[in-house]
């Protein structure tokens, strides 16, 4: 392949992304407020060290964007959300606890393993990469959880956000927001 052909692939199709309506945007914001707010509320109920918000892992922010901003997207569907986060959390915990490497290499391996397992289980959910990464680079409190990390904060937080996605997205009269498209 010629270099010019290779570089041509990086140009894209020069199409502009469509803009969502104000109503769509407000429904998305309401979902994000309620979903992350509910997870944050649960975080406040769990006795942890000051400043360590156990339930509020960074990958949930990205999941909120998918669930409430693009509920029609394949990556936002319940199977992808739940299984994607769980296999990613598993990958991160296994690498963090059982593979002795410098942290940077552990981080890279955890994300690569998570991506591989999400592909194999047909559950690709991009925020899962961050869930795996957090298991490696997270606080001592996260590390001390071991495999409990899969149940709390990951599964608990994911199920709370899914519940909000089911409620909020289906309150809208816009059929494009109706969620989910499929469960499997």
Q: How far apart are CA 180 and CA 165, in angstroms?
A: 9
Longest dimension (CA), the chain: 59
**Per the domain annotation, does 99 fall within a domain?**
yes
pLDDT of residue 46: 63
Within 10 A of 116 (CB to CB), how many other CB atoms are there? 12
Which of 43, 35, 33 has its CA nearest to residue 153? 43
Reduced 3-state DSSP string for 128-161:
HHHHHHHHHHCCHHHHHHCCHHHHHHHHHHHHHH
Looking up tokens 């199709």, which residue turns up? 13
Burial class (CB in 10 A: 0-12, 13-18, 19+), 30: middle
**Per the domain annotation, does 9 fall within a domain?**
no
Per-residue pLDDT of the chain (184 residues; tens, 9 = 90+): 899 888 888 888 888 888 999 999 999 999 999 999 999 998 777 655 555 567 789 999 999 999 999 999 999 999 999 999 999 999 999 999 999 999 999 999 999 999 999 999 999 999 999 999 999 999 999 999 999 999 989 999 999 999 999 999 999 999 999 999 999 8
**Per the domain annotation, does 16 fall within a domain?**
no
**Per the domain annotation, does 179 fall within a domain?**
no
pLDDT of residue 93: 98
Which of 57, 75, 32 has its CA nearest to residue 164? 32
Range of the domain at 146: 22-171
**Per the domain annotation, does 11 fall within a domain?**
no
Residues in the chain: 184
**Per the domain annotation, does 176 fall within a domain?**
no
- Report helix, strand or coil for 184: coil
**Per the domain annotation, does 129 fall within a domain?**
yes
Q: How many domains does the chain have?
A: 1
**Per the domain annotation, does 69 fall within a domain?**
yes
Q: How far apart are CA 69 and CA 17, in angstroms?
A: 14
Q: In this structure, are residues 47 and 152 in contact, taking their beta carbons and an 8 Å threshold?
A: no
């Amino acid at each position: 392949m010629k270099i010019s052909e290779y570089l041509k692939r990086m140009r894209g199709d020069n199409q502009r992304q469509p803009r969502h309506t104000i109503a769509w945007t407000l429904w998305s914001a309401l979902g994000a407020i309620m979903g992350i707010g509910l997870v944050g509320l649960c975080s406040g109920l769990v006795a942890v060290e000051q400043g360590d918000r156990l339930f509020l892992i960074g990958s949930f922010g990205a999941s909120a964007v998918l669930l409430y901003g693009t509920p029609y997207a394949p990556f936002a569907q319940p199977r992808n959300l739940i299984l994607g986060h769980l296999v990613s959390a598993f990958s991160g915990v296994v690498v963090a606890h059982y593979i002795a490497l410098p942290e940077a290499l552990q981080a890279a391996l955890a994300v690569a393993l998570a991506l591989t397992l999400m592909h194999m289980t047909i559950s690709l959910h991009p925020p899962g990469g961050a869930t795996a990464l957090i298991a490696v680079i997270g606080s001592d409190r996260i590390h001390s959880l071991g495999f409990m990390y899969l149940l709390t904060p990951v599964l608990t937080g994911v199920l709370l956000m899914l519940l909000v996605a089911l409620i909020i997205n289906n309150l809208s009269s816009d059929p494009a927001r109706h969620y989910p498209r499929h469960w499997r």
